[in-house]
């Protein structure tokens, strides 16, 4: 069964929809198609941004002010989970439900399974850094809630660039990783260039993504015969370190 038939079946069955996004890219990571279908089905929606531990305190405070209705959590570190659990329980009581059915939706590798594990206090849901871990729908019962985990949903309109930034597509699957590495480097050059200098231990910072990629390759000693930087290996490394949270935004 494809993604959308599973989504439509879940939307019929659940009372509350948790839409999971990545706090590092709040707008890019929210699946608007699922939200649209949830609203059309009259479902209560809770926006939850995961991986708050991968952004700095100042940026977190700014995002909380910009998205006052959203909750920010770190599933793996169990941060913000109690507040989310209470919110879901209160919503269930207001709907006069003995056991609210909660559907969890989002892109692959955005942090859904870690969130569910934290909500259910470690029961069943598998967590991994590789996209596509959850193959079917899982049901987990805990704390007066019945939680359903969906496979990661990727609308047909989404392209590789967005999926790579969200960690929904492995760098090993890319034919041209350099352009995606350039996207990540450009984002850091705009938002927090000093983080690149600190993380990659660079004395100076090139202002063009291609030159910066070469600098990083030299710093990591990713060099082929003849002293030429291995651009492919360097690009895939940059993507991978962003996706798994080693390279963090301030």
Is the pLDDT reported for residue 112 higher than 80?
Answer: yes
Whether residue 192 is found in the same domain as residue 232: yes
Least reliable range by pLDDT among 14-18, 139-143, 211-215: 139-143
Q: Which of 129, 184, 136, 159 is nearest to 7 (CA)?
A: 136
In terms of average pLDDT, the best of 71-85, 145-159, 210-224 is 210-224
Q: Is 23 helix (H, G, I), strand (E, B) or coil?
A: coil
Whether residue 137 is found in the same domain as residue 39: yes
Tens of pLDDT, residue by residue over 8-49, are 888 888 999 999 999 998 988 888 888 988 998 899 999 999
In this predicted structure, what is the pLDDT of residue 230?
95
Whether residue 122 is found in the same domain as residue 191: no
Residue 17 tokens read as 């929809």
Q: What is the CATH number of the domain that holds 98?
A: 3.40.50.300
CA–CA dist 245, 174 (Å, integer): 19
134 and 58 Cβ atoms separated by less than 8 Å: no
- Tell me what percent of the residues of the chain surpass a pLDDT of 70: 87
**Burial level of 20, CB count in 10 A (0-12/13-18/19+)?**
buried
Average pLDDT, the chain: 85
Residue that terminates a domain, selected from 149, 179, 211: 149
Tens of pLDDT, residue by residue over 54-86, are 988 988 999 999 999 999 999 778 889 999 999
pTM: 0.72
In this predicted structure, what is the pLDDT of residue 136?
53
Tens of pLDDT, residue by residue over 231-244, are 999 999 999 999 98
Whether residue 134 is found in the same domain as residue 50: yes
Whether residue 22 is found in the same domain as residue 136: yes
- Residues near 222 by beta carbon (within 8 Å), at least 6 away in sequence: 229, 230, 233, 234, 237
CA–CA dist 94, 63 (Å, integer): 28
Residue 145 tokens read as 């809630």
**What's the number of domains the chain is made of?**
2
Provide the domain limits for residue 26: 3-149
Whether residue 131 is found in the same domain as residue 177: no
Bridge partners (DSSP) of residue 72 are 49
More confident residue, 158 or 10: 10
- Residues near 224 by beta carbon (within 8 Å), at least 6 away in sequence: 230
Inside any domain, residue 157: no
Strands (E), 76-230: 100-105, 138-142, 145-149
- Residues near 230 by beta carbon (within 8 Å), at least 6 away in sequence: 217, 222, 223, 224
Whether residue 144 is found in the same domain as residue 176: no
Find where tokens 């038939």 sit: 5
Q: What is the CATH number of the domain that holds 231?
A: 1.10.1580.10
pLDDT, mean of residues 156-179: 78
Whether residue 123 is found in the same domain as residue 48: yes
Whether residue 23 is found in the same domain as residue 121: yes
Whether residue 7 is found in the same domain as residue 57: yes
pLDDT band at 159 (very low <50, low <70, confident <90, very high): low
Whether residue 73 is found in the same domain as residue 184: no
More confident residue, 63 or 151: 63
Inside any domain, residue 248: no
């Amino acid at each position: 069964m494809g993604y959308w038939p599973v989504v439509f079946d879940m939307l019929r069955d659940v009372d509350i929809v948790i839409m999971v996004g990545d706090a590092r890219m709040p707008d890019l990571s929210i699946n608007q198609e699922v939200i649209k279908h949830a609203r059309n089905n009259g479902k209560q929606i809770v926006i939850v941004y995961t991986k708050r531990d991968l952004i700095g305190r100042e940026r977190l405070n700014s995002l909380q002010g910009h998205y006052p209705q959203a909750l920010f959590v770190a599933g793996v570190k169990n941060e913000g989970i109690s507040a989310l659990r209470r919110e879901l329980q209160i919503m269930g009581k207001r709907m006069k439900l003995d056991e609210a059915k909660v559907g969890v939706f989002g892109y692959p590798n955005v942090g859904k399974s870690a969130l569910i594990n934290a909500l259910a206090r470690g029961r069943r849901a598998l967590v991994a850094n590789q996209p596509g871990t959850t193959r079917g729908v899982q049901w987990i019962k805990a704390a007066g809630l019945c939680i359903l985990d969906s496979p990661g949903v990727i609308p047909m309109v989404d392209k590789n660039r967005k999926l790579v930034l969200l960690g929904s597509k492995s760098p090993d699957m890319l034919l041209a990783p350099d352009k995606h590495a350039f996207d990540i480097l450009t984002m850091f050059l705009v938002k927090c260039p000093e983080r690149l200098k600190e993380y990659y231990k660079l004395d100076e910072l090139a202002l063009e993504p291609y030159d910066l990629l070469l600098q990083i390759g030299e710093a990591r000693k990713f060099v082929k015969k003849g002293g030429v930087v291995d651009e492919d290996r360097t690009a895939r490394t940059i993507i991978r370190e962003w996706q798994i949270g080693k390279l963090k935004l301030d």
